[in-house]
Amino acid sequence: MTVYEVGPRDGLQNESSTVPVQVKVEFIDRLADAGLTVIEATSFVHPKWVPQLADAEELLELLRQRPGVRYPVLVPNERGLDRALARGIAEIAIFGSATETFAQRNLNRSIDESLAMFAPVVARARAEGVTVRAYVSMCFGDPWEGHVPVEQVADVGRRLLDLGCSQLSLGDTIGVATPGHVTALLAEFARRGTGVDTLAVHFHDTYGQALANTLAALQAGITTVDSSAGGLGGCPYAKSATGNLATEDLVWMLDGLGIDTGVDLTRLVETSRWMADRLGRPSSSNVVRALSSD
C-alpha cells in the first residue's frame, strides 16, 4: 500500500499567504520522518499561475534527499520539464482533465490540445529515464458540465497511459464521488484492460465521502492513494470543498484494516499540528482533531 503524500504541493498551492520556503522544507522533512516514502515536493508551473510555489528551485536545493524517499514534482509543459531535468528530478507528474470545460479553464486548451502538449513532455522524460505520472481532474463531476460519464474518463485516462505514463491518478476534484461511482469507474478501466496496478485515486472530502470512496477503491484492488497531511488543500471551484483526503484519516483507516503503511501516526499528527500553527488555523483532519483533544 502506497500513501502518496501531496500536502507540500497540492495542499499548499492555494494558500493565500506565502509560506516561507524554510517552513516547506521542514514540513517535507517531518513528513519523511513520519515514514512517508512518496512526498510530492513542489511544482514547476509558472510562478504567475501558482505564486505559492515560485520557490521550487530553492526548495529543492535546500531539501535533504533521503534513501528510500521519492520526491516527485509537477510539470505543466516542456519548459517545466526543462527545469525538472536541470534539477536531476527522477519523477514528474503531468495534469490533464476529463472534461473539455475544465481543460479550457485550467490549461487554456482542449483535451486534444492538452494531450498534444503532454506527448513530447512524456517522451522526453522517459528518454531521460524519468518516471511520469498523470493526474486526471474532474473524474466524477464537473461544476460546469455536471456528471462525467465513466466512459469519458476512461477515454482520456487511456490516452494518457498510451503516451507512456506509468500511473494514472483519478481525481475527484470537487469531492462529489460516491463509492458506487468509484466502483463503476474502476470497472470501466478494467473492461478496457487497464490494470489497477497502473491506477491511483485522489479524493476530496467535500461531502464527507473521501474515506468511503477510498475503501471502495481498495476493495477493487487499488494500492496507491493520494492524500494530504492535515487535509490541506481544497478546490476553488467548489465553495464548500474542505480539502484533500487527510493523510491521518487514511492511515487511521488502513491501520484498522491491518494494512501496514510504515507511517508513524503519532509523528504525522504532530507534523500536521505544527503546520497548522504556521498557517494560523486548525487542521481539518478528523484524526488530528481527535488525537489532539486526548
> Any idea of the CA torsion for 262, 43, 200, 204, to the nearest 10 degrees?
90
Strands (E), the chain: 2-5, 38-39, 42-43, 73-74, 91-97, 131-137, 141-142, 146-147, 167-172, 199-203, 224-227
pLDDT for residue 240 = 53
Neighbouring CB atoms inside 10 A of 61's CB total 11
Tell me the CATH number of domain 2-292, given options 3.90.420.10, 3.40.50.2300, 3.20.20.70, 1.10.8.60: 3.20.20.70
CB of 126 closer than 8 Å to CB of 161 = no
CB of 103 closer than 8 Å to CB of 114 = yes
- pTM, two decimals, is 0.96
List phi, psi (to 5°) of 286. Answer: -65, -40
pLDDT for residue 242 = 66
Which residues of the chain fall short of a pLDDT of 70? 235-242, 294
pLDDT for residue 10 = 93
Q: Which of 63, 185, 232, 235 is catalytic?
A: 235
Which of 194, 148, 195 is closest to 173 using CA atoms? 148
3-state secondary structure of 70: strand
Please state the domain extents for the chain.
2-292
Q: Could you confirm whether 139 is annotated as catalytic? A: no
pLDDT for residue 234 = 72
pLDDT for residue 294 = 60
pLDDT for residue 14 = 85
